[in-house]
Structure 1
Amino acid sequence: MKKNYNPPPQIFDAAFLLIVAAEGGEKVSDDPRDPGGLTKWGICQRSYPDLDIRALTESDAREIYRRDYWDACKCDELPWPLSLYVFDAAINQGVSAAARMLQEAADVTVDGKIGPKTLAAAKSHPEWRAVRFMALRAMRYSQTKNFDRFGMGWLTRIFALAQEV
């Protein structure tokens, strides 16, 4: 396991680029078996029903990711790569699920609200917390509807992400 847990200088930008690559970038997807529906830059119509997904720009996607996922999970306050893993989980599994998995990985009360206790615990033993968080993600995916259809892709995504850092 790599021991470099220092964030890159532009931590959100680095995380955004990794996530957008995993999400397929500007390619539009409309798989009828995907409950998210029409998707571009990883932003799906189901989550943003009033948004013109086909016209979505990279800048628009960056703003949505920062506001609705990165900031919502206080990723600026988490050690790298845990911040990246929580960010990706918020996007792909939901903000509430990401917060709860973070709390479980940090061994604090699981209430879905990332506060000072969660952040402090996440910063203690960051390597262990990051590995435990990813294991919890994999376990949660295995219990998700459509795992038989998308499970290999979901698990490949989290292992590839871990390998990137």
Structure 2
Amino acid sequence: MTEVLDSFQSALKFTLKWEGGVGHPQDLGGVVQYGITQATFDTYRRRQGLPLKSVVEITPEEVEQVYLELYWKPSKADLMVLPLAMVHFDTAVNFSVRGSVEFLQEAIGGLVIDGRFGPKTQAALEDNNNFETAQRYCQARINYRYQRVQINPSQEIFLEGWLKRDRDLLRSISQGQEESQTQTPSVNEAISGDRNQVEIVDKLEQAINLLQEVLDQLKQSKVNPSTPEKR
């Protein structure tokens, strides 16, 4: 559970890097604070049995809980390795949970793209829960940005910002992958390390046995000293 929450915090840190302040007036999402729309915040407050308030007044604790309960968990990001979880979570924030599942299905391939995380999608994820899927996922986002602007030219004002975010996401997971490979020994290295340890232990045991034999001989010579020769 701790590892899952650590992954969530890592993913949230990246998303909040790009979700600061109130949204742009031309943003189709309307009033937005830290990537959270008023409608989403209203949903969270209702579920908590709390009175509604402006999303501009959202607290840091509420920001974290909204992302955890309405994006991280529903998107099933907790089932994914960190590179993919980070991409999937950030996409859920950008495109809704359903939209993130559609991107995931496209990145995996061979699935009906319906935005529903059913048994087939889950089974396919188990076989493709890796860095390579996360890379394809990022590229799918970049492709979609251009398509969106073609369909709605008024959104071109956001294109460069979208692309910077997508490229930063790809760069972040790539750096994380490189660090992981550097820190984690390969199977051959692990086996070689085990063999070296075994050899060291064997040599130590041989040295100890040899010392024990010498000690035994010394003790024996004291108990039964040799008789001097007669002249």
Q: Please name the residue that 1:12 is paired with.
A: 8
- Give the equivalent residue in structure 2 for 1:135: 139
Equivalences for 1:38-53 in 2 at 5 Å? 38-48=31-41, 50-53=52-55
Residues 122 and 129, structure 1, Cα contact 8 Å, conserved in 2: no
Alignment partner of 1:63: what SS?
helix
Q: Do the aligned partners of residues 128 and 56 (structure 1) sit closer, same or farther apart at CA in structure 2, a change above 3 Å counting?
A: same
Q: CA deviation at 1:132?
A: 1.2
**Runs of at least 4 residues off by over 3 Å:** 46-51
Q: Taking every aligned residue pair, what percent have the same amino acid on both sides?
A: 29
Aligned to 1:85: 87
1:159 — aligned with what? 167
Q: CA deviation at 1:127?
A: 2.4
Secondary structure in 1 matching 2:82: coil
Which structure has the larger Rg? Answer: 2
Structure with greater proportional helix content: 2
Instruction: Give me the CA root mean square deviation.
Output: 2.1
How do residues 38-77 of structure 1 correspond to structure 2 at under 5 angstroms? 38-48=31-41, 50-77=52-79
- Evaluate the alpha carbon distance shift between residue 46 and residue 154 of structure 1 in structure 2; reply closer, same or farther with a 3 A threshold: farther
Normalised to the residue count of structure 2, the TM-score between the two structures is 0.61
Counterpart code for 1:106:
I
Aligned-pair CA distance for 1:39: 2.1
Quote the offset at 1:9 in angstroms: 7.1
Q: Which runs of 5+ in 2 are unaligned?
A: 43-51, 174-231
User: Of the two structures, which has the highest relative contact order with CA contacts closer than 8 Å and spacing of 6 or more?
Assistant: 1
Deviations 1:106-133 (A, max 9, x none): 1223221113432332343422211111
Asked if the contact 1:70/1:76 (under 8 Å) is kept, the reply is: yes
Distance in 2, matches of 1:157 and 1:131, equals 14
Contact 1:35–1:46 (CA<8 Å) still a contact in 2?
no
1:31, CA displacement in angstroms?
2.3
